Chain A
Amino acid sequence: MIRFQDVTKMYGSNVGLSDVNLSIGKGEFVFLVGPSGAGKSTFIKLLLKEIEATKGKIFLGDTEVTHLSNRKIPKLRRNIGIVFQDFRLLPQKTVFENVAFAMDIIHMTSRSIKRVVPQALSLVGISEKANQYPHELSAGEQQRVSIARSIINNPSVLIADEPTGNLDPDTAWEIMRLLIQINLRGTTIVMVTHAKEIVDKMEKRVIGIERGKIVRDDMRGAYKYHV
């Protein structure tokens, strides 16, 4: 699903990623771990084509991201759902509108918006809060809204950038259960995290990045486990 071929990204003379080779299959659940500034954000930005690779090729499915014209970037991003640590909800829109907004963008009819949004809200378990505003919700509930928004257009990949970073442990596990559920429906999930406990318990594939290089790639890994 995601493939990096000899990808290098330089920021001036600083290394973002250097000679990264990586392949993530369809339906996988992958943790991306490493210290701050190791290159995790660079990885995500390259995949979204927010920045250009200095060298190498990146593929999403059959699409070569590195070759994509600016005009086609929006189409690429519709195929990638993103969840952020800080949720990034629009404060002046209700829960329903925050999710519907992602469908507006791809010009869905209001009839299908009215049909699909409640399904997504019920999937993440916040149907009854549809008409409330983000500031009226708890952090965990806000993250659920942002997950509903990220999957509303059925992306084939979901990127979660420290989705549990702002949540207490119990709420964090609720969010993890939700991500597993989404993964079981066939969506590839790449989760960037520092949450050792979660990574250790989940026993999923763990890719470690340090100073722009992949230092480990374990199929059923733990957070601090060097081979």
Chain B
Amino acid sequence: MFRAAVYSVKQAFKQLIRNKNMCTASIFSITSMLLILGLFFILIVNINLLATTAQSQFDTIQLYLEDDLGEEGIYEMENEIQKISGVDTVTYINKEEALVIMKSRWGNNGYLLDGLESNPFPNSLEIKVTNLEDADSVVARVKSMNGIEDIKYYQSIVEKLLNITDFIQLAGMILIFVLVIISIFIVANTVKLTVTAREKEISIMKYVGATNWFIRGPFLVEGIIIGLIGSGVSVAIIDFLYKKITEAFAEEAFVMFSVELVPQEFLIHHLVWIFISLGVGIGSLGSILSMRKFLDT
């Protein structure tokens, strides 16, 4: 078993060196396939993160209260809302707190708010719902209460966002599937060329009594090596690109959408294993497919 493996690896390297050009072509095709896949992966994980953050940010309902509703009234209302099914927590935010929060959000420009003569913010209650789907019924119940100036919630936005995420995920999956199939055929053709070049040798091997796995071994290893190199190169490129992307856009993304990008280490850590298994899988499947007809008898 061990000897057979050593033999296969030795032969595979000899073949790779002998067919440098075809090998480079297959490595190139696997690399470009994985690169497209990697970009989709980056897109998907970031949109997923965006969707989760958005969901946690927007699963709240803001109740702006009329100023003449006293502390007591607010306390009563808070208790009543707490009893509605689907409500997770209710938090009271008074005018002063609201002003402080806004100042901190505006950051360096916060001083602009110092010029205000009176505090324009209303007292408010922030309702968190356990499930986004419950938001509608909660809002309907709350609407009938007295002392409410305005109600704000973002269910429709979040739902749209989630729909887009689902769509991108599905499209990504289909695209990746198609790309994987294409790559398998490209590798299969490369290996088929080396197999055809060695058809005579294979037929002699069969006459001398070589098992199919013995004949297949070197070609299988060849496919695996092509896959490994392809995935290595694409991981390196993605790593480099994503570093540049995060450096350039992380701050803008945070300011504009108040979301963060998926950290580079986390992304690459996952991508390495996905790429290696895909690369090796494509390489070995490609070579096994290409040998089928030569090993019939």
Q: Chain A residues in contact with chain B, CB under 8 A?
A: 48, 50-51, 74-79, 82, 88, 90, 101-102, 104-107, 109, 149, 153
Known: A50-B297, A88-B200, A90-B201. A104 touches B207 (CB 8 A): no
Query: Interface code B179-222, partner A: CB below 8 Å = 1, 0 otherwise?
Result: 00000000000000000000011011111111110100000000
- Can you sample 14 A-B contacts with CB below 8 Å? A48-B207, A50-B297, A74-B211, A77-B207, A77-B209, A78-B209, A79-B209, A88-B203, A90-B200, A101-B205, A105-B205, A105-B214, A107-B3, A153-B209
Kindly name the residue among A77, A79, A105, A106 whose own CB sees the greatest number of chain B CB atoms within 10 A.
A105
Q: Chain B residues in contact with chain A, CB under 8 A?
A: 3-4, 7, 200-201, 203-212, 214, 297
Contact, CB under 8 Å: A78 / B208: yes
Contact, CB under 8 Å: B3 / A82: no
From A74, A76, A78, A90, B204 is in contact (CB under 8 Å) with A90
Residues of B close to A105: CB separation below 8 A: 205, 208-210, 214
Contact, CB under 8 Å: A107 / B4: yes
A16 to chain B, nearest CB (A): 15
Contact, CB under 8 Å: B208 / A102: yes
How far, in angstroms, from A24 to B4 measured CA to CA in the complex?
A: 36
Contact, CB under 8 Å: A101 / B3: no
Tell me the nearest residue of chain B to A88, going by C-beta: B204
4 closest A-B pairs by CB: A78-B209, A77-B209, A105-B210, A74-B211
How far, in angstroms, from A73 to B204 measured CA to CA in the complex?
A: 14
Extra contacts, 9 of them, besides A51-B297, A74-B206, A78-B208 (Cβ < 8 A), are A48-B207, A74-B210, A77-B208, A82-B207, A88-B204, A88-B207, A90-B204, A101-B208, A153-B209
How far, in angstroms, from A130 to B34 measured CA to CA in the complex?
A: 47
How far, in angstroms, from A106 to B3 measured CA to CA in the complex?
A: 10
Contact, CB under 8 Å: A104 / B209: no
How far, in angstroms, from A37 to B203 measured CA to CA in the complex?
A: 22
How far, in angstroms, from A88 to B4 measured CA to CA in the complex?
A: 24
A218 to chain B, nearest CB (A): 30
Contact, CB under 8 Å: B3 / A109: yes
Tell me the nearest residue of chain A to B206, going by C-beta: A77
Residues of A close to B206: CB separation below 8 A: 74, 77
Residues of A close to B209: CB separation below 8 A: 74-79, 105-106, 153
How far, in angstroms, from A51 to B200 measured CA to CA in the complex?
A: 18
A211 to chain B, nearest CB (A): 25
How far, in angstroms, from A74 to B202 measured CA to CA in the complex?
A: 13
How far, in angstroms, from A153 to B233 measured CA to CA in the complex?
A: 45
Tell me the nearest residue of chain B to A80, going by C-beta: B209
How far, in angstroms, from A30 to B207 measured CA to CA in the complex?
A: 21
A69 to chain B, nearest CB (A): 12
Residues of B close to A88: CB separation below 8 A: 200, 203-204, 207
How far, in angstroms, from A18 to B209 measured CA to CA in the complex?
A: 28
From B208, B212, B297, A149 is in contact (CB under 8 Å) with B208
How far, in angstroms, from A172 to B158 measured CA to CA in the complex?
A: 88
Residues of B close to A51: CB separation below 8 A: 297
How far, in angstroms, from A78 to B200 measured CA to CA in the complex?
A: 18
Tell me the nearest residue of chain B to A109, going by C-beta: B3
Residues of B close to A79: CB separation below 8 A: 209
How far, in angstroms, from A77 to B206 measured CA to CA in the complex?
A: 8
Tell me the nearest residue of chain A to B3, going by C-beta: A107
How far, in angstroms, from A109 to B7 measured CA to CA in the complex?
A: 11
How far, in angstroms, from A104 to B214 measured CA to CA in the complex?
A: 10
Tell me the nearest residue of chain A to B1, going by C-beta: A107
B161 to chain A, nearest CB (A): 56
How far, in angstroms, from A4 to B207 measured CA to CA in the complex?
A: 21
How far, in angstroms, from A76 to B208 measured CA to CA in the complex?
A: 10
B202 to chain A, nearest CB (A): 11
B19 to chain A, nearest CB (A): 13
Kindly name the residue among B3, B206, B209 whose own CB sees the greatest number of chain A CB atoms within 10 A.
B209
B123 to chain A, nearest CB (A): 82
Residues of A close to B210: CB separation below 8 A: 74, 105
